[in-house]
Amino acid sequence: MIELIGVSKTFNGRTAVDAIDLTIPKGSICVLVGTSGCGKSTTLRMINRLLPHDAGIIRIDGQEIRSFNEQKLRQQIGYAIQSTGLFPHWTVERNIGLVPRLLRWPKQKIQDRVEELMTLLDLDPAIYARQYPRQLSGGQAQRVGVARALAGNPETLLMDEPFGALDPITRDNLQNELLRIQAQVKKTIVFVTHDIDEALKLASQIVVMDQGRIVQVDHPEQLLRHPANAYVENLFGSQDRGLKLASLFPVRSLFETDTPIQANGLKAPGSGPEDCIEATDSLRLALSKMLWAGASEMPVVDANGQVLGQLTLEQILRANGK
C-alpha cells in the first residue's frame, strides 16, 4: 500500500504538486491521468525519491520513504519509463538482471529469474538473451523494460507512460500482457499516462489530476458516469463517453449475470471473426461488429468456437445505460 498525505512539490517557486492526499491499495493498478504539466509524473517520481518531496508524508507499507536508504528504496520499487532507458552497451539478459545484481542475488538465481521473466513477457531467451537493445523493435525493448522493472520482485511498480511511444497494435498487446501478468503477480502498480483509453482499460483506480491537485479518484465506470467537474468530463470525452463505458465491460459479463444460455456444442455457422462476437470482446467491440454487419443480434462464441448464445443490441443498451 502506498499513502501520500499532504504531499507537495515546488520547482523554482512554481507549485507542481499541491498538497495531495492519495491512498493506493495493495495489488491495485492506480492510473494517474491529466493534461501535460498536471503533476502526474512528478507525483510518480516522488514515490521512488527521484524527486524529493518538499512537504507531506509518503509511506510505502506504513514506512515513510525518507527512512530508507535512497538506493535500497529504489531497488525495491520497479521502474519503467517511456523511452525504456535500457543500457545500450548491455545485452538484454544483463539489462534485466540489473536489480538482482544490485541486490547481490547468487548468479544462478539471477539467471533463472531472467529466463523466467523473458518467458513471462513472451521473449524467447534462446533468441533474445544475448541481443543488444538496438537489435530489438520498440515493442520488444519495452517488454525488456518491463521485465527489468519486475526483476527484483518488487512489491511496487512505477510506470511512466511505458507504452506511450509504441504503435497502437503493439501498445494494445502490451496492455493485455500487463493485465495478464498483473493477474499472476499482483503488484501495486502506479501508472502514468495521458491516454484515456489506456487508463480506462488498465485501472482499478483512476486519479485525475489538474494543476498539481487531485480532482477525482474513482473506478473507471464511476468516473465516466459521474465526472466531478467539466475538466474530468472533458478529459474523458463528453461525446463518446458511452462508447468508452461500453469498452469497460466484456461480453462475457452479460452471460454471467443473465441466465446462462446452454452451450449447444455447435460451431458458429460460417464464422469469421466479423460474423460472431467473442466472449472476451468488449461491449464496444460487439457493438462495432453489429454496426458493421447491420445486424441487431449476433452469436457469441468462446475461445474454442463454441456458441454461448445470442447477443442482442437491446442487451448492450441495457447493460451500458445508467
Partner 1 sequence: MKLPSHWSASGWLVVLIMATLGMQYLERFFRWVAPGQRQVIYQRDDFLSLMLNHASLVGLASIVAITIGVGTGILVTRAWGRDFLPTVSLIASVGQTFPPVAVLALCVPLLGFGAGPVILSLILYGLLPIVRNTLAGIGDVEPAVIESARGMGMSGTQILWQVEIPLAFNVILAGIRTSVTINIATAAIGSTIGARTLGDPVIAGLINNNIAYTLQGAILIGLLAVTVDRLFEVVQSVSTRR
Residues of the shown chain interacting with partner 1 in the complex, contacts defined by CB under 8 A: 48, 50, 71-76, 79, 81-89, 98-99, 102, 145, 148, 158
Q: How far is the CB of 74 from partner 1 (least distance, A)?
A: 4
- Rounded to 5°, the CA angle 154-155-159 comes to 75
| Least distance to partner 1, CB of residue 306, Å | 46
For 24-36, give one letter per residue: b (16+ CB within 10 A) or e.
Answer: beeebbbbbbbee
Q: Grid cell 539478459 — which residue?
A: 93
60 vs 217, beta carbon nearer partner 1? 60
Instruction: Return the number of other C-beta atoms located less than 10 Å from residue 127's C-beta.
Output: 10
Contact residues for 230 (Cβ-Cβ < 8 A; gap 6+): none
How far apart are CB 85 and partner 1 at their closest, in Å? 3
Residue 173, Cβ neighbours under 10 Å: how many?
Answer: 16
- Rounded Cα distance between 56 and 20, Å, is 9
Q: Among residues 84 and 247, whose Cβ is nearest to partner 1?
A: 84
Cα–Cα dist 53/192, whole Å = 18
Q: How far is the CB of 89 from partner 1 (least distance, A)?
A: 5
State in angstroms the smallest separation of the CB of 82 from partner 1: 8
Cell of 227: 465526472
**Shortest distance, position 233 Cβ to partner 1, whole Å:** 34
| 181: nearest Cα among 61, 29, 73 | 29
Q: Closer to partner 1 by CB, 101 or 225: give it.
A: 101
Of residues 89 and 186, the one with the C-beta less far from partner 1: 89
